[in-house]
Amino acid sequence: MKNKAITSRDVDFAKWYTDVVKAARLADYSNVKGCIVFEPRGYALWEMIQSKMDRMFKETGHQNVYMPLLIPENLMQKEGELINGFAPEVAWVTHGGEKELEERLCIRPTSETLFSDYYSHVVNSYRDLPLKYNQWCNVMRWEKETRPFLRSREFLWQEGHTVHETREEAEEETKKMLGIYKTFFEDYLAIPVITGKKTEKEKFAGAEYTLTVEAMMYNGITLQSATSHYFGQKFAKAYDISFKDRNNELSYCYQTSWGSTTRMIGALIMVHSDDNGLVLPPKIAPVQVAIVPIQMTDKVMEKVDEIRKELESVGITVTVDDSDKSAGYKFAEAEVTGIPIRLEIGERDLDQGKLVLTRRDTREKTEVLLSSDIITVVQNEMHTMQDEMFNRAKERRDAFTFTCHNLEEVKCQMEKQPGFIHAMWCGDEACELKMKEIKGTKSRCILEDGEKIDHHCVVCGKEAKYHVVWGIQY
């Protein structure tokens, strides 16, 4: 039976998305225009993402730091490409109390300037390198159109900023971090992704080049999910991040930057969830198992407590719904909030020596003997669920992936069903802009090792240079 509070995703995908966010109590709108309130379930999900990614960063030698929220205008202006790229989205602080400030301070849209300024003070010798830092923080960008998690004026993210002795080392870092993001998306979020290089038009302002992680949502619209940037020496020269090299000569550092945001929560919703609410992969779910006692007699609750302790002993996170709500209401609540596994047990179940296990993704019910190894049963179900969620998402992505050879084919496909379009490109920005006229279709990434589909640009028909994946983006 469908959740009545949620619009069908096949009827109105945008309304469905908002309904799921509200029904699952992930976020609420605030009186600060363009900003959301992270409710406990939404923030718990971000904490799970943060903890898993943070471990992966630290395993590769990165350390966490924290930079100030405010950036003096003179620092922002040192690297002109960056400030020009972010100027339309920057929020400025002009007064402290009632006093007008001598210099405007911007609320960080990103922290390259502060990291670069810091590095210019602490890097003196090649022996100081590399410095591999990351920060978890909030940023602000004055977006015109907002949507919970996907795009808001204030959002949470992580941004890594590293400095290196050589170009080779910095480029290796750029590629390594892209690989970490890809692994995280596929292994934890169960979201298949493609990776590649952004075009010059789409790269990060100030970067030599940008590598990107691109995911497809249930409706065929794409989402830029994480990026890794190679800066070369642009910021090092602008902010004088110099050091004595191995020949005792003055050299400039090579830098990288990489980041991902709370839009990952939006991706989880739009890839996996359904008309009954949130669906979460077990590896990233804050609560993995909900135990629902049908009757709360001493006998039932004793068994419930026994099962809870067993599962928690191996690190499985469990909630027990011992409220006085009806069993049906408890089932619906566990379902809409995306808890992967639900265990139901009542007096009759105890008498029959069994309980009922329900998987959130398929809603399939299985009877499990109480004499079974409950830990193994639950672990196996979660492992299977994680794999099957990824495989279903991959099958849908592949079904919405198309190859086109000319503009007419692109237009017909995007009007019929958006998705990933594989097509060749000559490298001319004018052709890139021409593609955008088709329902906002933009280059998602250049497949650097992609095989040639043909030899002609999908737009102008001239000799093609690049195999590009195109799509309509959030």
Asked if residue 79 has pLDDT above 80, the reply is no
* Beta strands 289-293; 209-216: pairing state: unpaired
Closest by CA position to 193, among listed 214, 222, 208, 179: 214
pLDDT class of 2 with cuts at 50, 70, 90: confident
Identify the pLDDT of residue 460. Answer: 97
* Cis before 286 (ω within 30): no
Specify the 3-state DSSP secondary structure of 374.
helix
pTM: 0.95
pLDDT tens for 47-69 read 999 999 999 999 999 999 999 99
Percentage of the chain exceeding pLDDT 90: 93
Tokens of 26: 């992930």
Asked if residue 83 has pLDDT above 80, the reply is no
pLDDT tens for 314-339 read 999 999 999 999 999 999 999 999 99
CA distances for 30 relative to 19, 118, 153, 261, 264, angstroms: 16, 35, 12, 20, 21
Q: Hey, what amino acid is at 34? A: G
Query: How confident is the model over 357-379, as a mean pLDDT?
Result: 97
d(CA 338, CA 317): 13
Asked if residue 82 has pLDDT above 80, the reply is no
Asked if residue 165 has pLDDT above 80, the reply is yes
Domains in the chain (CATH in brackets) are 13-272 (3.30.930.10), 289-381 (3.40.50.800), 401-471 (3.30.110.30)
Identify the pLDDT of residue 463. Answer: 96
State the number of CA atoms in the 13 A half-sphere of 206 facing the CB: 28
Identify the pLDDT of residue 76. Answer: 85
Collect all residues with Cβ–Cβ distance below 8 Å to 464 and sequence separation of at least 6: 424, 425, 426, 452, 454, 455, 456, 457, 458
Measured at the CA of 159, the angle between CA 386 and CA 427, to 5 degrees, comes to 85
DSSP 300: H
Asked if residue 84 has pLDDT above 90, the reply is no
CA distances for 440 relative to 96, 146, 191, 397, 429, angstroms: 42, 18, 24, 19, 15
Query: How confident is the model over 418-438, as a mean pLDDT?
Result: 97
Identify the pLDDT of residue 194. Answer: 98
Identify the pLDDT of residue 208. Answer: 97
DSSP 380: H
